[in-house]
Structure 1
Amino acid sequence: METLQTLERGLTALELIANKHAQLTVAQLAEQLQINRTIAYRITRTLTALGYIKTNDNQCLELTSKVSSLHALFEKTIPFATQHVLNWLAKETQSSASLVIAEGPDCVVVKTAAAHSNVIQINYQLGSRLPLGYAASGLAIASTYPASENDSEDIKVARAQGYAYSEGIFQKDAIGIFMPLQGRHMAIGIVHLGKINIEDVVQKLTQATESLNI
């Protein structure tokens, strides 16, 4: 796929600056992007002029508060009560709860919540990706698309029963149960380490999705 190289480099630079937590100089950025320093300076000057980055006292690059406005706009694409619902779901199931969305061929974690307990937990990390059709979260998202002859049996089962289940995909004894949101390429669910009452979780997921489908 043909891309606009300058824009691609600028966005990649922004991601690198964000990930380095104010520990990246222009010279290091040029090295990371495999470009000469002149181009790196042009990119950083542009991002600075637009207000998205600044240079700190250590001559390192860091994000400014302006990026929060982009995040706020993204938040508007997510059901308003999602975090509240995930907090409730995590507490009720004593599990880690997540909202995942489709982005191209991937399923991406955009919201999480964890139960406050001493029970050992396994968590999805914010921003983590996995292929559609893989694990409970990816299966649930895949089931939101029209049926295809290329669908796996697991996707067909998830679409038929209204939720997806997987076990031992990322870690032994780790169980994932995710349910799609109506009319959206999104799903919420839990990841739990050890035995769990599937029927009870599905019932709570139904309550959670119904509250978000309003």
Structure 2
Amino acid sequence: MSEKKATEAKVDSTLSKGLAILEKLAETRSALGVTEISRSLDLTKSNTFRLLQTLSRLGYVTQREDGAYAVTLKMWQVGRSTVDSLNLRELAAPEMAYLADETGETIYLAVPEQFNVVYIDKIESKKPIRSWNPIGGSAPIHCVGTGKAILAANYERLREKLSEPLPGYTGRTMTTLSQLDEDIEATRMRGYAYDTGEFRDRILSFGAAIKLPDGEAVAAIGISVPNVNLPENGEERFGALSAHAAEAVSRKLTRV
């Protein structure tokens, strides 16, 4: 047997099927039933059920009262550990400090979690009027600067998983895919994302994606600012600053 064939023979089919189920549940907004999962992954219902029971006993999946299955926080904890292993906080700290000094506003470091972003670090603004979100807090990926920056970088993979209407939070929230398509294109053209108060009224945010060498966004760095604090020409300046900071952190990732 050739070395290549020997390597392929070592792939555990049960493990790969279990991981496929986890990936399917993680990318889906709502819980799924055994039939839905088995059909989408071309597995038998009996095999799917056995794998779900194993994943449930291991704490990665939970069965709801209606019989459908969903991933648990243990999946998030594993993902969070992976992010931590990249030393993102340490790598991004100098750029975050620079943005805080330059703008005086709140600076966030965020990572994607399904269709949200989770804030894993921040530098608080010292201004009397400022935005606020705790470390560990989350926001919808299509509404805030850091989220839209990640979404733009990974849009080919994520768009087909979005469905209308998108959740609305303010009168400025984009709730249709056509609106989002236009915004993503504008984000790519500018090099940074701009939230015009789409998650919280009168709170603006700018974000740019932190990318791996293959172009996948694993995080974003952003500036959050109440609209009354935004200086003249502040949109272009804050956007450019966030893009410069994200590019600097992305370059560091190539050396990790």
Closer, same or farther: CA 132–171 of 1 in aligned 2, 3 Å: closer
SS at match of 2:59: helix
SS at match of 1:81: helix
User: Any conservation in 2 of the 1:164–1:178 contact (CA below 8 Å)?
Assistant: yes
Closer, same or farther: CA 168–206 of 1 in aligned 2, 3 Å: closer
Q: Aligned ranges for residues 42-191 of structure 1 at < 5 Å?
A: 74-79=83-88, 80-115=90-125, 117-147=126-156, 148=159, 152=180, 153-182=182-211, 183=215, 184-191=217-224
Which residue does 1:24 correspond to in 2?
A: none
**Pair 1:8-2:17 in alignment:** no
Post-superposition shift, 1:72? 7.2
CA distance in 2, matches of 1:180, 1:206: 8
SS at match of 1:181: strand
Post-superposition shift, 1:114? 1.7
Q: How many residues align?
A: 155
Query: Normalising by structure 2, what TM-score?
Result: 0.52
User: Any conservation in 2 of the 1:107–1:131 contact (CA below 8 Å)?
Assistant: yes
SS at match of 1:130: strand
User: Any conservation in 2 of the 1:83–1:113 contact (CA below 8 Å)?
Assistant: no
Post-superposition shift, 1:119? 3.0
Post-superposition shift, 1:207? 2.6
Post-superposition shift, 1:109? 1.2
Post-superposition shift, 1:156? 2.5
**Unaligned runs of at least 5 residues, structure 1:** 13-69
Deviations 1:121-161 (A, max 9, x none): 11222122233222222211110114357752222322232
RMSD between superposed Cα atoms in Å: 2.9
Deviations 1:92-113 (A, max 9, x none): 1111111111122222111111
Deviations 1:53-90 (A, max 9, x none): xxxxxxxxxxxxxxxxx977642224342123212212
Query: Normalising by structure 1, what TM-score?
Result: 0.61
SS at match of 1:143: helix
**Unaligned runs of at least 5 residues, structure 2:** 1-31, 33-51, 63-78, 163-176, 252-256
Post-superposition shift, 1:206? 2.8
Larger proportion of helix: 2
User: Any conservation in 1 of the 2:108–2:222 contact (CA below 8 Å)?
Assistant: yes
Q: Alignment identity in percent? A: 23
1:138 maps to a residue whose letter is: G
SS at match of 1:124: coil
CA distance in 2, matches of 1:73, 1:166: 28
